[in-house]
């Protein structure tokens, strides 16, 4: 089991904070929002169309993905991968495959105690879903 390094008393870290959000600008806003909401089935927390357009979806626990409508000049995310834990990776793999998600391969057991599968998402993102199946280092 992984252990955390002790920190000095009274020192606040980001681990003590509440919500986590991943924000990015999408060139194909409608297609990207549809992927996260319709294909992946993530619920919309908030959406707006005043002074810019955006949508927030719940990804996991207190984590959220915030998608902004971009223009042609906005750079897509680069070198970014998302990962989140699911209860049963094999069931998620089957369900999402049936919805048209194209995984890079079937779920595989990893030497670090996870079983995972990865797929490409809009805007050059990669998403890995995993289930903990053993001791994590």
Q: Is the residue at 114 inside a domain?
A: yes
For residue 17, is pLDDT > 50?
A: yes
User: Containing domain of residue 121, as a range?
Assistant: 77-137
Both tokens of 74, joined, read 């906005």
In this structure, are 67 and 111 located in the same domain? no
**CB count, 10 Å around CB of 2?**
8
> Residue 83: which CATH number?
3.10.180.10
Confidence of residue 99 (pLDDT cuts 50, 70, 90): very high
Pairing of strands 44-48, 54-60: antiparallel
| Rounded distance between C-alpha atoms, residue 112 and residue 135, angstroms | 7
Domain count, the chain: 2
Q: Is the residue at 4 inside a domain?
A: no
Q: Is the residue at 15 inside a domain?
A: no
- Of 34, 52, 72, the position where a domain reaches its end is 72
Q: Is the residue at 81 inside a domain?
A: yes
pTM of the model: 0.80
Check residues 62 and 23 and name the one with the higher pLDDT: 23
In this structure, are 88 and 134 located in the same domain? yes
The mean per-residue pLDDT over the stretch 16-23 comes to 78
Residue 114's nearest CA partner among 96, 92, 135, 94 is: 135
């Amino acid at each position: 089991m992984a252990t955390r390094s002790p920190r000095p008393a009274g020192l606040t870290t980001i681990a003590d904070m509440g919500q986590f959000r991943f924000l990015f600008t999408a060139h194909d806003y409608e297609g990207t929002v549809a992927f996260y909401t319709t294909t992946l089935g993530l619920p919309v927390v908030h959406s707006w169309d005043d002074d810019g357009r955006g949508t927030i979806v719940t990804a996991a626990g207190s984590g959220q993905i915030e998608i902004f409508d971009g223009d042609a000049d906005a750079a897509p995310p680069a070198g970014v991968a998302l990962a989140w834990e699911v209860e049963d990776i094999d069931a998620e793999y089957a369900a999402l495959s049936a919805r048209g998600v194209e995984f890079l391969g079937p779920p595989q057991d990893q030497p670090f105690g996870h079983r995972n599968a990865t797929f490409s998402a809009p805007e050059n993102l990669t998403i890995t879903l995993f289930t903990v199946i053993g001791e994590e280092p």
